[in-house]
């Protein structure tokens, strides 16, 4: 009896809590993706690179001798500005064409390539490590948890709640949801739909950037980190349902739990395969995801 | 993106001319390389043709059926690995390696197709991407297949008596014939009822069912065909380079193939080959100036998607057409 | 209703019902369509005509009821199965291959006539499909537009092409979904002639759903009137026009 409890306490719980800290960041990324898709009907294939840029922003900021805390504030702003420019300058160019679904996929795919190469040029291909702003560990339930991980969970959780409140409880959120629901109607009500698009894209990209900042001290920072992570983010969005915030949160938390707990049973090499397998099964059984609606993508 | 189905216009002639130009130029390139005594450029041209074959398989899906595959390198790499294994472990026979690779990839394409083909748009792209990720990781971790180092020591084989794979010009010619043959076969298929239905699926998949044809069946056929084309091209790779590695399945290869197709001109088949050829040349030239040629090509790709979505061939064909019709009416008056 | 002695039911709809949530979109719809005749379903807005059409064509599966075609149950059949038994349909919102030429649209649709054969020979050799395309081009007055992209046609021409594509497979019955939707007066007259000829000249059975009551009265042999999801009248145009329930449904209790 005691050995099961011990297993729960010393093996399962730490894995689960680790998974939770990753999960929070995954949810933030997935939220960004799903919000962009929900409003603009655009799949941002460059989302992983936006996450990577967030992590590299931390590298830059720390390199300038500035404290990590500034990164939390500056990175989202920088990413938002970049996202706004990307939407205005690039995505809008193909937005109104007939083939727009394929073209936006290709365009964001191209943007991803360019961004990844740019990162390689500026920062080199070698991984960087970033020190966590909070060190030490706290004892909880007889175990020691790194303080930074606990912080990630708290801050990340707070941001998720804030996003939810923003989307569902503010007038800005109402405007965005209205524009997502019916663009022409919203435009005729005086809503600057084009600007709403750009701001929403910026917001989604900023969320990916924050995820990058949060996870930078946990994973090392390297140029292809975006691509490795984006399959996870897309799986979450697809399983949760494209455009569904509830889906992104639930699927993100559940899938990261599955990922961290499964590493107890199977070698981490097969992690991706497991998640991919789950995504394929969900797509075949319920193509709109758990909470999504058919008729997208 | 182009209507290629007008048998009354001079469009087929324009495409035919561009195809002839491509294959003639490739041959010329290799001959010049031989005269200059430098086998590096001949091998580069051969490699360009091999990756052109992969690009053809992407165009079959993207430009003709309307599906964006972000993991086609999976079949390319599978073809390469199967070819290498056959040559090393089974029999050093060119034809055996080719045929086994094609069969294997047909089978793999069927499985992959059954998984992926119910999805469209980004879902399909992600499943394709994911399949390649998963399998490249499997191979990366399989010691029997050389793990991360891949397999070296692929033997030289005889294609026909007197022609061996270590003969640069000779093997170039073999590749030239194979890829040329693939191109002609695909061109022909596009003129058959089945090929026309592929195009119809791209234009309006919904209506195709109402014409009495189940779109799913055709999409799977196209997926399998694309897998075989990619696999056949991949099978040539170890014969050229003497080794295979998991990198052949990595996203970089899949992504490059898509870039080749878009820049060359999707939906034209010959555009895929032009894309592969031109970008190989571009990379080679840029590579002598800077290590960072990738970003230049990435930027070029973005510009093409925004400003020239029909690609090089897509824009050349109407121009050539106009020139040809002018000639026709000029001759008549 | 007095049955005519030469009755030959080609389509039989019995007790068709479906609900969307609490709304009974179609309730207990029953009627027969005769071979070689034009049968029309009309009714004021919200009557459930479109839903009825989709139930019959297999796009929606009914909760209750069945559809029989040539004595065979075809309820909820997929589009390719419908075509196999000889039932074809057109679309209210034009659903053509806009990026392909008019000729290619018809040739593709006509390819069905050769199903199974000729998959491996070039389309230039599939004489049946090519001949059918040419036939339809002349029947529908689209010869001059043969090489134009379908998306470049005028609305009226597109609606005609829509019907032509549905006919290409030589079905024995065609279901027309608001064929004159958005057409000009002249185009509507032409289409009316066409629908009449489909039945009288080519012996096709036609089922159409329409808003244009005058058109329906002129071309139909048999009219079914729906209101609020139910059938309220069923008979020849004269019978239906004189039916007080129909007048109430359309015009209210003004008489």
Q: Which of C109, C121, C123 sits opposite B211 (nearest CB)?
A: C109
DSSP string, C41-94: EE-STTSSHHHHHHHHHTSS--SEEEEEETTEE-TT--HHHHHHHTEEE--SS-
- Whether residue A179 lies inside any domain: the answer is yes
Measure A125 CA to nearest chain B CA, in Å. Answer: 12
Q: C-alpha distances in angstroms, C243 versus C15, C43, C52, C225, C240?
A: 22, 13, 21, 10, 5
Average confidence (pLDDT) over A24-53? 90
Yes or no: say if B45 and B33 are a contact pair by the CB < 8 Å rule: yes
Judged by a CB distance cut-off of 8 A, whether residue B115 touches chain A is: yes
B306 contacts in A (CB within 8 Å)?
Answer: 90, 93-94, 107
- Whether residue A14 lies inside any domain: the answer is no
B142 contacts in A (CB within 8 Å)?
Answer: none
> How much is the pLDDT for C156?
87
At residue B99, does pLDDT exceed 50? yes
Rounded Cα–Cα distance for residues B196 and B156 (Å)? 41
Judged by a CB distance cut-off of 8 A, whether residue B301 touches chain A is: yes
C129 contacts in B (CB within 8 Å)?
Answer: 193
Q: Which of C79, C100, C114 sits opposite B5 (nearest CB)?
A: C100
Judged by a CB distance cut-off of 8 A, whether residue C127 touches chain B is: no
- Which structural domain range is residue B194 located in? 11-326
A269 contacts in B (CB within 8 Å)?
Answer: 137, 141
> How much is the pLDDT for B2?
38
Question: Which CATH number goes with the domain that contains B179?
Answer: 1.10.3470
At residue B229, does pLDDT exceed 90? yes
Q: Number of A:B CB contacts under 8 A? A: 98
With tokens 């050799």, the residue in question is C125
Q: C-alpha distances in angstroms, B278 versus B49, B272, B281, B297, C200?
A: 11, 10, 5, 11, 61
- Whether residue A266 lies inside any domain: the answer is no
Judged by a CB distance cut-off of 8 A, whether residue C79 touches chain B is: yes
Judged by a CB distance cut-off of 8 A, whether residue C119 touches chain B is: yes
Judged by a CB distance cut-off of 8 A, whether residue C114 touches chain B is: yes
Rounded Cα–Cα distance for residues C222 and C236 (Å)? 5
Nearest CA in chain A to B115: A280
- Whether residue B57 lies inside any domain: the answer is yes
Residue B34: CA atoms inside 13 Å, Cβ hemisphere, count? Answer: 14
Burial tier of A246 (Cβ tally within 10 Å: 0-12, 13-18, 19+): middle
Evaluated on CA atoms C6, C9, C15, C17, the torsion sign reads negative
Nearest CA in chain B to C58: B210
Q: C-alpha distances in angstroms, A243 versus A48, A67, A82, A294, C49?
A: 18, 35, 22, 11, 33
Collapsing DSSP states into helix, strand and coil, what is residue C232? strand
Token output for A215: 């996870």
DSSP string, B126-185: HHHHHHHHHHHHHHHT-GGGTGGG-B--PPP-EEETTEETT-HHHHHHHHHHHHHHHHHH
DSSP state of C115: T
Token output for A258: 């599955």
- Whether residue B144 lies inside any domain: the answer is yes
Rounded Cα–Cα distance for residues A231 and A271 (Å)? 12
* Domains detected in chain C: 1-86+171-255 (3.40.50.300), 98-165 (no CATH)
Rounded Cα–Cα distance for residues C166 and C139 (Å)? 13
Find the length of chain B.
333
C95 contacts in B (CB within 8 Å)?
Answer: 204, 206-207, 210
> How much is the pLDDT for B11?
63
The tally of domains found in chain B comes to: 1
> How much is the pLDDT for B65?
92
Token output for A192: 């600057």
Measure B295 CA to nearest chain A CA, in Å. Answer: 5
Q: Which chains are adjacent to chain A, needing at least 3 Cβ pairs under 8 Å?
A: B
Confidence of residue A180 (pLDDT cuts 50, 70, 90): confident
A273 contacts in B (CB within 8 Å)?
Answer: 134, 137-138
**How much is the ipTM here?**
0.84
- Which structural domain range is residue A129 located in? 21-223
Q: Give the distance from CA B326 to its chain's centroid.
A: 34
DSSP state of B244: B
Say how many C-beta atoms besides its own lie within 10 A of residue A93's C-beta.
Answer: 16
Judged by a CB distance cut-off of 8 A, whether residue B217 touches chain C is: no
Collapsing DSSP states into helix, strand and coil, what is residue C172? coil
Tell me the average pLDDT of chain A. Answer: 85
Rounded Cα–Cα distance for residues C228 and C249 (Å)? 9
> How much is the pLDDT for C253?
56
Say how many C-beta atoms besides its own lie within 10 A of residue B107's C-beta.
Answer: 15
Rounded Cα–Cα distance for residues A196 and A194 (Å)? 5
> How much is the pLDDT for B122?
79
Helix, strand, coil percentages in chain C from 3-state DSSP, rounded to 5: 40, 25, 35
- Whether residue A182 lies inside any domain: the answer is yes
Q: Using the beta-carbon criterion (under 8 Å), do B211 and C83 form an inter-chain contact?
A: yes
**Higher-pLDDT residue of C120, A238:** A238
C172 contacts in B (CB within 8 Å)?
Answer: none
- Whether residue B154 lies inside any domain: the answer is yes
Helix (H) or strand (E) holding C24: strand C23-34
Judged by a CB distance cut-off of 8 A, whether residue C100 touches chain B is: yes
Confidence of residue A19 (pLDDT cuts 50, 70, 90): confident
Rounded Cα–Cα distance for residues B293 and B51 (Å)? 18
Rounded Cα–Cα distance for residues C180 and C188 (Å)? 6
Nearest-5° Cα angle at A127, A126 to A131: 140
Q: Which of C109, C147, C166 sits opposite B8 (nearest CB)?
A: C147
C205-209 β-sheet, strand order: C87-89, C173-177, C205-209, C38-42, C222-227, C230-235
Nearest CA in chain B to A267: B141
Judged by a CB distance cut-off of 8 A, whether residue B284 touches chain C is: no
Rounded Cα–Cα distance for residues B194 and B200 (Å)? 10
> How much is the pLDDT for B56?
97
- Whether residue B3 lies inside any domain: the answer is no
Rounded Cα–Cα distance for residues C179 and C159 (Å)? 7
Q: Which of B126, B138, B251 sits opposite A238 (nearest CB)?
A: B126
pLDDT in tens, B46-79: 999 999 999 999 999 999 999 999 999 999 999 9
Closest of C252, C211, C234 to residue C47, by C-alpha: C211
The tally of domains found in chain A comes to: 1
> How much is the pLDDT for A138?
81
Judged by a CB distance cut-off of 8 A, whether residue B287 touches chain A is: no
Q: Which chains are adjacent to chain B, needing at least 3 Cβ pairs under 8 Å?
A: A, C
* Bridge partners (DSSP) listed for residue C64: C17
> How much is the pLDDT for B110?
96
Q: Using the beta-carbon criterion (under 8 Å), do C111 and B191 form an inter-chain contact?
A: no
B122 contacts in A (CB within 8 Å)?
Answer: 43, 105, 234, 297
Measure B64 CA to nearest chain C CA, in Å. Answer: 13
Q: φ, ψ for residue B330 (rounded to 5)? A: -65, -40
Q: C-alpha distances in angstroms, B279 versus A116, A268, B294, C156?
A: 19, 37, 10, 47
- Whether residue B4 lies inside any domain: the answer is no
Rounded Cα–Cα distance for residues C208 and C38 (Å)? 8
B262 contacts in A (CB within 8 Å)?
Answer: 106
Measure C58 CA to nearest chain B CA, in Å. Answer: 11
Residue A123: CA atoms inside 13 Å, Cβ hemisphere, count? Answer: 24
Residues 6+ positions from C243 with CB-CB distance below 8 Å:
C225, C232, C233, C235
Average confidence (pLDDT) over B199-228? 91
> How much is the pLDDT for A283?
80
Token output for A255: 């899938």
> How much is the pLDDT for B225?
96
Helix (H) or strand (E) holding B51: helix B39-59
Burial tier of C17 (Cβ tally within 10 Å: 0-12, 13-18, 19+): middle
- Whether residue A66 lies inside any domain: the answer is yes
Which residues numbered 26-55 in B keep a CB inside 8 Å of some CB on A? none
Residue A156: CA atoms inside 13 Å, Cβ hemisphere, count? Answer: 30
C115 contacts in B (CB within 8 Å)?
Answer: 212-213
Q: Using the beta-carbon criterion (under 8 Å), do A105 and B251 form an inter-chain contact?
A: no
- Whether residue A190 lies inside any domain: the answer is yes
At residue A159, does pLDDT exceed 90? yes
Q: φ, ψ for residue B241 (rounded to 5)? A: -100, -15
Q: C-alpha distances in angstroms, A241 versus A277, A283, A295?
A: 16, 10, 11
> How much is the pLDDT for C123?
77
A280 contacts in B (CB within 8 Å)?
Answer: 115, 127, 130
Nearest CA in chain C to B200: C97
Find the length of chain A.
297
Judged by a CB distance cut-off of 8 A, whether residue B309 touches chain C is: no
Nearest CA in chain B to A238: B123
Nearest CA in chain B to C123: B192
Say how many C-beta atoms besides its own lie within 10 A of residue C218's C-beta.
Answer: 15
Nearest CA in chain B to A120: B292
pLDDT in tens, B168-211: 888 999 999 999 999 999 999 998 888 889 999 998 888 998 88
Rounded Cα–Cα distance for residues C181 and C162 (Å)? 11
Q: Which chains are adjacent to chain C, needing at least 3 Cβ pairs under 8 Å?
A: B
Q: Using the beta-carbon criterion (under 8 Å), do B295 and A114 form an inter-chain contact?
A: yes
Judged by a CB distance cut-off of 8 A, whether residue B9 touches chain C is: yes
Low-confidence ranges of chain C (pLDDT < 50): 1, 5, 254-255
Rounded Cα–Cα distance for residues A93 and A95 (Å)? 6
Token output for A10: 């010393």
Yes or no: say if C48 and C25 are a contact pair by the CB < 8 Å rule: yes
Token output for C131: 């001949």
B8 contacts in C (CB within 8 Å)?
Answer: 147
> How much is the pLDDT for C58?
86
Nearest CA in chain A to B125: A105
Closest of C56, C98, B241, B126 to residue A48, by C-alpha: B126
Per-residue burial over B315-329, b if 16 or more Cβ lie within 10 Å, else e, is ebbeebbeeeeeeee
pLDDT in tens, A258-285: 888 888 777 777 777 888 888 888 887 7
Measure C141 CA to nearest chain B CA, in Å. Answer: 19
């Amino acid at each position: 009896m005691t050995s099961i409890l011990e297993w729960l306490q010393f093996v399962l719980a730490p894995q689960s809590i680790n998974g939770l800290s990753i999960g929070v960041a995954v949810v933030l990324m997935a939220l960004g993706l799903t919000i962009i898709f929900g409003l603009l009907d655009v799949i941002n294939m460059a989302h992983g690179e936006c996450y990577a840029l967030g992590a590299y922003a931390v590298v830059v900021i720390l390199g300038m001798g500035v404290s990590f805390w500034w990164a939390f504030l500056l990175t989202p702003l920088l990413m938002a500005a970049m996202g706004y420019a990307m939407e205005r300058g690039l995505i809008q160019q193909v937005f109104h064409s007939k083939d727009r679904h394929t073209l936006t996929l290709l365009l964001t795919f191209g943007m991803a390539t360019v961004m990844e190469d740019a990162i390689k040029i500026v920062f080199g291909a070698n991984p960087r490590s970033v020190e966590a702003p909070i060190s030490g560990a706290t004892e909880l339930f007889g175990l020691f948890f790194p303080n930074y991980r606990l912080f990630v969970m708290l801050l990340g959780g707070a941001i998720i709640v804030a996003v939810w409140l923003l989307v569902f409880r503010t007038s800005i959120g109402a405007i965005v949801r209205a524009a997502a629901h019916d663009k022409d109607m919203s435009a005729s009500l005086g809503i600057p739909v084009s600007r709403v698009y750009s701001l929403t894209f910026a917001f989604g990209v900023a969320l990916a950037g924050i995820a990058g900042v949060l996870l930078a001290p946990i994973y090392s920072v390297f140029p292809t980190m975006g691509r490795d992570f984006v399959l996870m983010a897309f799986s979450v969005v697809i399983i949760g349902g494209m455009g569904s915030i509830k889906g992104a949160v639930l699927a993100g938390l559940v899938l990261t739990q599955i990922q961290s707990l499964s590493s107890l049973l199977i070698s981490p090499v097969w992690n991706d395969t497991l998640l991919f397998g789950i995504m394929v099964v969900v797509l075949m059984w319920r193509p709109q995801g758990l909470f999504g609606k058919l008729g997208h993508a | 993106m182009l209507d290629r189905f007008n048998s009354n216009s001079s469009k087929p002639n324009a495409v035919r001319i561009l195809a002839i130009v491509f294959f003639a130029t490739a041959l010329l390139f290799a001959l010049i390389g031989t005269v200059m005594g430098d086998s590096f450029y001949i091998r580069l041209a051969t490699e360009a043709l091999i990756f052109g074959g992969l690009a053809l398989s992407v165009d079959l899906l993207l430009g003709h059926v309307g599906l964006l595959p972000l993991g086609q390198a999976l079949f390319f790499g599978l073809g390469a690995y199967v070819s290498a294994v056959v040559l090393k472990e089974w029999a050093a026979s060119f034809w055996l390696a080719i045929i086994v690779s094609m069969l294997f990839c047909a089978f793999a394409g069927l499985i992959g197709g059954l998984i992926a083909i119910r999805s469209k748009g980004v879902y399909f792209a992600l499943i394709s991407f994911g399949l390649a990720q998963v399998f490249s990781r499997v191979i990366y971790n399989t010691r029997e297949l050389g793990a991360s180092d891949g397999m070296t020591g692929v033997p030289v084989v005889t294609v026909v008596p007197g022609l061996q794979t270590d003969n640069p010009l000779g093997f170039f010619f073999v590749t030239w014939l194979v890829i040329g043959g693939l191109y002609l076969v695909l061109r022909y298929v596009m003129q058959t009822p089945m090929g026309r239905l592929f195009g119809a699926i791209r234009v309006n998949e919904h209506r195709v069912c109402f014409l009495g044809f189940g779109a799913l069946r055709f999409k799977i056929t196209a997926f399998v065909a694309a897998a075989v084309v990619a696999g056949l091209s991949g099978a040539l790779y170890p014969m050229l380079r003497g080794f295979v590695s998991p990198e052949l399945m990595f996203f970089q290869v899949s992504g490059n193939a898509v870039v080749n197709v878009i820049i060359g001109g999707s939906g034209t088949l010959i555009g895929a080959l032009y894309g592969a050829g031109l970008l190989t040349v571009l990379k080679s030239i840029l590579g002598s100036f800077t290590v960072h040629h990738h970003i230049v090509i990435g930027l070029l790709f973005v510009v093409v998607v925004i400003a020239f979505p029909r690609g090089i061939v897509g824009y050349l064909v109407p121009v050539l057409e106009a020139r040809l019709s002018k000639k026709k009416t000029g001759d008549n008056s | 209703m007095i049955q005519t002695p030469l009755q030959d039911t080609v389509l039989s709809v019995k007790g068709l019902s479906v609900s969307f949530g609490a709304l009974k979109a179609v309730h207990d719809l029953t009627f027969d369509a005769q071979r070689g005749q034009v049968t029309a379903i009309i009714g004021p807005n919200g009557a459930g005509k479109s839903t009825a059409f989709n139930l019959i064509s297999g796009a929606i599966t009914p909760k209750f009821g069945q559809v029989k075609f040539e004595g065979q149950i075809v309820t909820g059949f997929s589009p390719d199965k419908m075509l196999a038994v000889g039932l074809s349909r057109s679309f209210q919102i034009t659903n053509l291959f806009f990026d392909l030429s008019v000729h290619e649209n018809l040739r593709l649709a006509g390819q069905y006539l050769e199903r199974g054969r000729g998959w491996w020979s070039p389309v230039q050799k599939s004489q049946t499909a090519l001949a059918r395309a040419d036939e339809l081009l002349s029947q529908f007055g689209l010869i001059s537009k043969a090489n134009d992209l379908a998306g470049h046609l005028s609305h009226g021409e597109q609606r005609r092409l829509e019907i032509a594509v549905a006919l290409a497979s030589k079905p024995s019955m065609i279901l027309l979904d608001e064929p004159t939707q958005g057409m000009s007066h002249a185009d509507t007259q032409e289409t009316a002639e066409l629908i009449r000829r489909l039945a009288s000249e080519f012996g096709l059975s036609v089922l159409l759903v329409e808003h244009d009551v005058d058109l329906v009265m002129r071309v139909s042999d048999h009219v079914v009137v729906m209101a609020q999801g139910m059938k309220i009248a069923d008979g020849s145009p004269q019978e239906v026009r004189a039916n007080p329930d129909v007048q109430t449904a359309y015009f209210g209790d003004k008489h």
